[in-house]
Chain A
Amino acid sequence: MSNFLRLFKTGLSSFRRNGWLSLASITIMVLTLITMSLFLIVNVVLNTGIQTIQDKIDISVYFNDNAKQKDIISLQDSLAELKEVKSIKYISKEDALAKYRKQNANNPKLLESLKDTENPLPPSLEIKVTTPDKLGALTKVFDEEQYKPYIHKVSYKENQAIIDKLFKATQFTKQVGLGATAVFTATALLIIFNTIKMTIFARREEVDIMKLVGATPNFIKGPFIIEGAIYGIISTFISLLVIAIFLYFLSPALINYFGGVGDSLSDFFLDNIFALVFAQLFVGVLIGVLSSWLAVRKYVKLN
């Protein structure tokens, strides 16, 4: 314990005394962590948006008036067993009318016109699928001969082209986001590693002196590794502070231009503040420690 405390004290004092080199390492790390975090936040918000759109994609199957309720319920039961189906709901003629009245409560003329006629709305099934790519496969069921006499219309088919495009677009966005995150993380790691490597290169003479007075490789590495961890801790807090300030001032502008996106970003940041602190600390300290360890390892080798 006393040895660890000694290494910790040495690391801390070395961090203080290497002012400019420490500042250079922390600046690079802060910039990297900020960019990575913003990238992560935007990615999450984008995915949430995509998920919301996907949730809204459903199939409505409208039945002819001659369709019996038991036939529709029987179809509902058999569809519910399919793994592609997330949820399925039967909307009777009466339910459809009630829903219509509710939706048009502010339009008395429209409601008045319904009074003298028989309920014109068809019964239907509203189906939500697990993923949009399952839509196409599912609609084939309704082409089967046994269901043809009852089915009036399947809504998906009418919007098929738009839904397919939307699905391809969401898939593309996800893949690009994932790829860009991976490439950016790798680049960031490389930049930080090289910055720390250069700071240790500038102090290689110190390492040589430590070796000459009988320090073991681990004793030499210890303070450098602790310094790397300090870089990570300080960078984490600075980057979170900068992101918080950035979102505070930028959210109103984002809301103006992109509707709810600004709010989503701030909400995501606040809702996940502890996860972000932990993730950044983990990444920051890991990068700092690993880079220092790898960089100093070369110079502590004995003959």
Chain B
Amino acid sequence: MIYFEHVTKKYEQSEGDKTEALSDVTLHIKPKEFVIVVGHSGAGKSTLIKLINCEIRADEGKVYVGGIDYKELKKRDIPYLRRKIGVVFQDYKLLPKKNVFENIAYALEVSGVKSKDIKTRVPKILEVVGLQKKEKNFPKELSGGERQRVAIARALVHNPRILIADEPTGNLDPRNAWGIIEILIRVNQLGTTVMMTTHNQEIVNKLKKRVVVLKNGKVTKDQATGVYEE
């Protein structure tokens, strides 16, 4: 499903001075897997997600997602790729001038889904994330946990085969954080591949899922039912 082969990504700090965010990373995530990527700030977790979502391109190595070789991917095809991947961000990235319904509907509108279908699909996904009564609210009127649920609903509304969650519990209190994790587990049980980055030790250790540890841009551990060790 997701395949990184000797991937290196460097960022230019100043002219001619580059730092490696990912260094020779090889990683294979199978369909329907639930993978947690852990690591400190600057370990390369966000770079990994940006590469999957094609926000940036690898300097070396190959990235394949859903059978697509990103080296061969043309710029104009990036939007179509993103519609196949659901992404949840730590800072939610909701459109501030759109209400809950419109934020979720937007992901369908960009794919050309008919208004009639949007009107039936959005309420269903709102039910999944438990926000049926909030569809008219704007993001600023919601709590952090509710905003993250909207972001998850938007990521799931077009039934993606892959769901990427970048620190989805980073800004939430423990109760809301577990609410979000429960939704991700349910989605995974329904057959969606889930890749989540976090540095929340408690969540990682309770989930008992595959854990990939990133340190200074390198994969240092990859365990089937791993734990998070400092």
Contact = CB atoms under 8 A, between A and B. Distances in A.
Nearest to B102: A13
Interface stretch (A119-127, A137-145, A209-217): A209-217
B225 interface: no
B115 A6 contact: yes
A213 B82 contact: yes
**Which of A2, A211, A302 is the most central at the interface, judged by chain B CB atoms within 10 Å of its CB?**
A302
Interface string A145-157: 0000000000000
Contacts of A213: 82-83, 106-107, 110, 154
Contacts of B109: 6, 10, 219
Interface in A1-27: 2-3, 6, 10, 14, 17-18
Given A212-B87, A214-B107, A219-B110, A18 B53 contact: no
Contact of A210 (B54, B106, B115): B106
Contacts of A71: none
B79 to A, nearest CB: 5
| B-side interface size class | 20 to 34
B97 interface: yes
Contacts of A212: 53, 55, 82, 87, 89, 93
B105 to A, nearest CB: 10
A206 interface: yes
Interface in B33-87: 53-57, 75-76, 78-83, 87
B56 A214 contact: no
Given A214-B111, A219-B110, A303 B93 contact: no
A138 to B, nearest CB: 67
B114 A2 contact: yes
A2 B107 CA distance: 16
Given A210-B106, A211-B79, A303 B55 contact: yes
Contacts of A215: 79, 106, 110
Contacts of A214: 79-83, 107, 110-111
B94 A209 contact: yes
B85 to A, nearest CB: 8
Contact of B112 (A3, A209, A302, A303): A3
23 contacts: A2-B114, A2-B115, A206-B96, A209-B93, A210-B106, A211-B82, A212-B53, A212-B87, A213-B82, A213-B107, A213-B110, A214-B83, A214-B110, A214-B111, A215-B106, A216-B76, A216-B110, A219-B79, A219-B109, A219-B110, A303-B54, A303-B56, A303-B78
Interface of B: 53-57, 75-76, 78-83, 87, 89, 93-97, 106-107, 109-112, 114-115, 154
Given A212-B93, A216-B76, A219-B110, 4 more contacts: A2-B115, A213-B154, A215-B79, A219-B79
Task: In the A-B complex, list the 3 residue pairs whose CB atoms are closest, starting with the nearest.
Answer: A214-B83, A214-B82, A215-B110
